Structures are given as C-alpha cells and as structure tokens.
A = this chain, B = another copy of it.
Amino acid sequence: MSDSNSFSLESYLREKKIIVEQALTRYLDYEDRHPAIIFEATRYSLFAGGKRIRPILCIAAWEALGGGGGDDDILPAACALEMIHSYSLVHDDLPAMDNDDLRRGVPTSHRVFGEDIAILVGDALLTGAFELLSRPDLMAGIALATRLKVINIISIAAGMNGLIGGQVLDLKSAGQKIALATLEQMHNLKTGALIAASLKVGALLAGGDTASIDALTRFGQRIGLTFQISDDLLNVEGDRALMGKNTGSDVQRGKATFPGLLGCDESRKLASRLTEEAVACLAGFDSKADPLRKLARFIVERKF
C-alpha cells in the first residue's frame, strides 16, 4: 500500500467490503431468532448490496492514522455507521417519503415485507447500531471515554442536525425552487454529516491528534457533498442497470438537484473542485492516506 503506483483501489474496496460484511454477519446474530420476520427483513436490507462506503471510509481514516489494535476495535463502529445508513435508506424509500420500489436492483423493504415491517426494520437498524457501539465484549482496546464520544458523534450526525434534518429539507424542498446554498446545506446534513462522522470516528479510534481528526473531518465534509453531486449526476445521466434503481426519478419528482440548478457541466466542475479541496486536507498525511486520496477521486468519477 506504500507504493501508490501499485495500489489498486478496486482491490482495496473489494477487500474492505468483504471484511465489513463478514463483521456484520459476525456481530449480528440474526439466524433462528424470534420473531423471525423482523430479523429476516432487517438482514434483507442490510445485505441487499451497497458499496459500504461509510464503513470503508471509517476504516481508511483509521489506517491513515496508523490505527492499530484488533479489528474488533474499529469494525463495530464501521458496522454501526453502515446500519445507520441502511436504516435511513429503508425509511427514505417508504411510500410516505420517496415511495421507491427498487433499491440496489432489488425491491425495497416495504415492497417485500409491507410498510409496517419496513418502518420497524429501520427502527431496528438504528437501535441495533447503538447496541453494537455499546457492547461490552467488543472494542476492548478503546478507552471508555472515546467509546462514549463515538456514540455521541454518530448520534449527532444521525439526528435532527444531521441525517434527519437533511431528509426533512429534502422532503420540504420537493417542487420548490431553492438556492444553491440551501441545496448544499440539505446535502451537508443528509449525506455529509454521516460521511464526515465516519472519517472522524475512524480518526478518533486510531488515537489521532486534534489536528488530524479535524483534517479528516473536513475531508469527509467535502467528499460527502461530492458524493451527492455525483449521485445527482448519475440520476440524470446514469445507467439504470449499473445503478440498480430507476434513473431520472429526481426530475419526475420535482426534486432540487445540482444538475437542475447548475447544469451538468457546472455540477461536474463543482464536484472536481471539492475533490481537490478534499485531497488538500490530507496534505500533512503520508502514504497511509493514499486509499483516501484515491477514494475521493473515485467518488467523483464513479459510474454507479
């Protein structure tokens, strides 16, 4: 990994994704449990594909700061971040919200299990994330004060000043003409907050100093917004087969998007500028931060 020429982001992402999914399976005992339907439905959403970007960013931040210790120090937090992301997708897809039938190429939770169970699946993933973060048998190498801080950071990022606030702005902006600053604020909350928290938590668990933690958090804020711009662009220009969901749906719903507000060219330019800003945040880091540098560029160039 120290020779950046030989580093393959593709292999890195594939390898980390497997590690995250194995950890989710190991930590969450969903087999032969009662009532079966809620365990089955929760597993369905949590394992319905997904790039696992948030946990991978968390692990990459931890590695960038030379985080040592066992996997059971970093993976519970990484998995909790993915569970919270997964809950937010299940609730966002509900008929009362975005009313999506398809997510990552498969029917959404409420289409398979009904709306009642889908609401409870979201609740269970959110609750389960905090159960995982507070488990007495995991994160043995992490100071208790740090563990509590991680829970606080993640709960704030997921709350009304983060994920939930962003979703409210998204719902309320549908069909409205909004300013670029409002759109940016919405996505900083809806996507940026949890992505920035993923980096921050990884840095904190690695025992990074304040300057390093701040740098990685700022990196996260920038790639979080870039991630959303590229999502908007893919919704306009993307390939339905690659995306695993319906494209063009934002326009149909009258959703405010970056391409809608700025056009595709200017949106791409904004994403590129943010990516360069993000990479600049890592100026003080050595080659252990190369995966993060490559990830930042991957986000702006991705096709799915």
User: What residues of chain A have their CB less than 8 Å away from a CB belonging to chain B?
Assistant: 33-35, 37-39, 42, 87, 91, 94, 96-97, 114-117, 119-120, 122-124, 126-128, 130-131, 133-136, 144-145, 147-149, 151-152, 155-156, 158-161, 164-165, 167-169, 171-172
Contact = CB atoms under 8 A, between A and B. Distances in A.
Given A37-B168, A144-B145, A149-B136, A123 B124 contact: no
A273 B100 CA distance: 50
Given A38-B160, A97-B119, A124-B160, A155 B131 contact: yes
A116 B164 CA distance: 11
Given A120-B164, A120-B167, A130-B155, 16 more contacts: A35-B168, A87-B123, A91-B119, A91-B120, A94-B119, A96-B115, A117-B171, A126-B127, A127-B160, A131-B155, A133-B151, A134-B148, A134-B149, A134-B155, A144-B148, A151-B151
Contacts of A115: 96
Nearest to A162: B127
Nearest to A98: B116
Given A134-B148, A148-B147, A123 B155 contact: no
A131 to B, nearest CB: 4
A134 B131 CA distance: 13
A239 B97 CA distance: 36
A171 B131 contact: no
B127 A165 contact: no
A296 B160 CA distance: 36
Nearest to A39: B160
B130 A151 contact: yes
A165 B160 CA distance: 26
Contacts of A96: 114-116, 119
A117 B155 contact: no
A128 to B, nearest CB: 6
B117 A119 contact: no
A122 B123 contact: yes
A83 to B, nearest CB: 11
Given A145-B144, A151-B134, A159 B116 contact: no
Nearest to A114: B96
A97 B124 contact: no
